[in-house]
């Protein structure tokens, strides 16, 4: 492998770990730069894909995505795939998250076994043992779809049913209801 290729790949990885340039991908309704931190990263230029593994923490505006592993698929920038810090990454088209997935905004906290972000539909989908928390309200299901620009979420139960605990403003959960869940 040529020294220039090694330096170019190292520069791409270092640049990715610091900041992915502003992209179409919108984890947050605020938009802006997407900051990616992880233990390891691999850039696959020909496939227009970046894989970050280990304590992955992605932040954009007021939104945060955490997972064990995230794959970012991106479109090439106009003028073709040019390598270099900030030169090879185009708009993020899709993110795939696996293992201990957390999506957090000021309005909600959601967890699941896996997740995806699709830029074309501007949706985030979490699957597998999904828990959605808004304030003190908690909902559980198997598939959560969040439409980012609309601020709308849909939870499905899969083979089971969606379970919800809704706490009206200013009211505490009765002790008898709490005790009934422990049985």
Q: What is the pLDDT of residues 139-172, one digit of tens each?
A: 999 999 999 888 899 999 988 899 999 999 866 6
Longest CA pairwise span in the chain (Å) = 70
3-182 CATH, one of 3.20.140.10, 3.60.15.10, 2.60.450.10, 3.90.1150.10 = 2.60.450.10
Residue of 44, 82, 51, 60 lying closest to 148 (CA atoms): 60
What is the pTM for the complete model shown? 0.74
Question: What is the tens place of the pLDDT at every residue in 101-139?
Answer: 999 999 999 999 999 999 899 999 999 999 999 999 999
Distance CA 73, CA 38 (A): 16
């Amino acid at each position: 492998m040529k020294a220039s290729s090694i330096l170019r790949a190292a520069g791409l990885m270092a640049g990715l770990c610091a900041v992915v340039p502003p992209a179409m991908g919108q984890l947050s309704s605020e938009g802006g730069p997407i900051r990616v931190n992880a233990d390891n990263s691999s850039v696959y230029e020909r496939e227009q894909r970046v894989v970050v593994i280990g304590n992955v923490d992605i932040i954009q505006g007021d939104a945060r995505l955490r997972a064990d592993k995230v794959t970012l698929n991106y479109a090439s920038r106009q003028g073709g795939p040019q390598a270099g810090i900030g030169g090879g990454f185009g708009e993020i088209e899709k993110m795939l998250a696996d293992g201990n997935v957390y999506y957090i905004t000021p309005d909600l906290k959601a967890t699941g076994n896996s997740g995806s972000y699709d830029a074309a539909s501007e949706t985030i989908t979490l699957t597998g043992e999904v828990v959605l928390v808004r304030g003190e309200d908690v909902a559980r299901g198997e598939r959560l779809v969040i439409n980012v620009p609309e601020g709308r979420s849909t939870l499905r139960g899969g083979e089971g049913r969606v379970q919800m605990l809704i706490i009206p403003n200013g009211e505490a959960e009765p002790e008898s209801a709490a005790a009934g869940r422990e049985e």
